[in-house]
Amino acid sequence: MDDILAAADDLGPYKIVHINRPREGLRAIVVVDNIACGPAIGGARMAPDVSLAECARLARAMSLKNAAAGLPHGGGKSVVFADPGMPEADKERLMRAFACSIADITDYIVGPDMGTDERAMAWIKDEIGRATGLPAVIGGIPLDEIGATGFGCAVAAEVAQDFCDFSLDGARVAVQGFGAVGHHAARFLAEKGAVLVAASDSNGMVHAPDGIDVARLAAIKAGGGAVADYPVGEKHGRNAIIGVDCDIWIPAARPDVLDGDSVGRLKARLVVQGANIPATAEAETIMHERGILSVPDFIANAGGVICAAVEYRGGTETDAFAAIDEKIRRNTRSVLTDARERKCLPREAAEALAERRLREAMALRRWS
């Protein structure tokens, strides 16, 4: 707790709420980081080993992501200390108890995150009327099914090609983590003329320089197979994806996969960060020095939260795609232009953009 208070700055956290209801077996934390742009949106994460520090860090990341995306929402996050694999009926009771406990935190709108899903959001909405990432039958837009985040990554890559010396038409793409984000990023990039040449999952990777049929690979995954079951191409261990010769490299799996050691193996010209914090600070600097352009996570992967914000206002899937296209296109161009002019890392330019918007919004509020 002391560390969090020491790390607090003039942006936030605005509010930290600890929830302890032993009779219901509920222990949770809500961090509302900043609400200058509007009520905070951020996921509820369920895991046995979550912490206040993790919650606060993720809440700040949401403040920056939402401000950078130009959404009328601040940043927040919540964590529930529990095993997400518990029986469904227990999970429902716990999430309903959690919802009732946060009924008064009206400046926080809950979304799904690790360990929670659209059904959990439906229970929260049912209790307090305030949640996003809902099932379609009650107005939700299934963002992973439609590929909201992957679509945004493809838009970011389309803009970034103007800042690199290659064109999307025929560009070779490698995707680390062929899941919801990775699959749809590959699909939308293929629609723009790029070719998927390698993909990995937690079990291994497939490399086929002549091209991988994205729909066929997705069907194998949907049927319970692994990317290495793709019938064509060479098969390697999952970490070999980092060294694949390609134009666009998309991390869409875990944090910190590019670090001071692994980044040296990268043979790409553009990295579009689908995953959250896939590169350490050292790796970002090395990429910059090697002339590899890297579009930061909270610019490139904002498609999901933009979709959630559209859903919250009652918008449709078409509205969501239009908003993602417009916002990510504008922000990627602005960040990459600024980075080029100031000769700084794209991440520095992105953080400056987000912080500038947050401070402008804060200046308009009496309290924020």
Q: How many residues bind ligand NAD (CB under 6 A)?
A: 22
Out of 58, 180, 335, 361, the residue judged to bind ligand NAD by CB under 6 A? 180
Which residues, 85 to 104, sit near ligand NAD by CB under 6 A?
none
Which residues, 195 to 234, sit near ligand NAD by CB under 6 A?
200-202
Rounded Cα–Cα distance for residues 29 and 59 (Å): 11
**Alpha-carbon distance values, 125 to 11, 75, 83, 135, 276 (Å):** 28, 19, 22, 11, 26
Cβ count within 10 A of residue 281: 12
- Output 106 or 202, the one with its CB closest to ligand NAD: 202
Our answer to whether residue 77 is catalytic in this structure is yes
- Output 103 or 322, the one with its CB closest to ligand NAD: 322
Rounded Cα–Cα distance for residues 126 and 109 (Å): 13
Q: Which of 287, 253, 258 is nearest to 270 (CA)?
A: 287
- Output 74 or 177, the one with its CB closest to ligand NAD: 177
- Output 159 or 308, the one with its CB closest to ligand NAD: 308
Q: By rule CB under 6 A, what string of x and - marks binding of each residue 128-167 to ligand NAD?
A: ---------------xx----x------------------
Rounded Cα–Cα distance for residues 78 and 209 (Å): 43
Q: Which of 60, 55, 58, 59 is nearest to 28 (CA)?
A: 55
Minimum distance from residue 225 beta carbon to ligand NAD (Å): 11
Out of 108, 123, 151, 178, the residue judged to bind ligand NAD by CB under 6 A? 178
Out of 18, 216, 254, 340, the residue judged to bind ligand NAD by CB under 6 A? 254
Rounded Cα–Cα distance for residues 68 and 358 (Å): 8
Minimum distance from residue 338 beta carbon to ligand NAD (Å): 23
Q: Is 177 in the site for ligand NAD (CB under 6 A)?
A: yes
Rounded Cα–Cα distance for residues 268 and 248 (Å): 6
Closest chain position to ligand NAD (CB): 179
Rounded Cα–Cα distance for residues 284 and 264 (Å): 11
Residue burial 233-245, b: 16+ Cβ < 10 Å; e: rest:
beebebebbbbbe
Segment near ligand NAD (CB under 6 A), from 14-22, 187-195, 270-278, 314-322?
270-278
- Output 105 or 181, the one with its CB closest to ligand NAD: 181
Out of 253, 287, 306, 361, the residue judged to bind ligand NAD by CB under 6 A? 253
- Output 153 or 164, the one with its CB closest to ligand NAD: 153
Residue type, 19: I
Q: Is 324 in the site for ligand NAD (CB under 6 A)?
A: no
Cβ count within 10 A of residue 57: 16
Minimum distance from residue 308 beta carbon to ligand NAD (Å): 9
Query: Where does residue 341 rank: exposed (0-12), middle (13-18), buried (19+ CB within 10 A)?
Result: exposed
Q: Is 301 in the site for ligand NAD (CB under 6 A)?
A: yes
Q: Is 179 in the site for ligand NAD (CB under 6 A)?
A: yes
Place of tokens 């690979």: 217
Q: Is 265 in the site for ligand NAD (CB under 6 A)?
A: no
Catalytic residue selected from 65, 77, 125, 327:
77
Chain CA centroid to CA 158, Å: 18
Q: Which residues of this chain interact with ligand NAD, rule CB under 6 A?
A: 143-144, 149, 176-182, 200-202, 238, 252-254, 274-276, 301, 304
The residues annotated with a catalytic role in the active site are 77
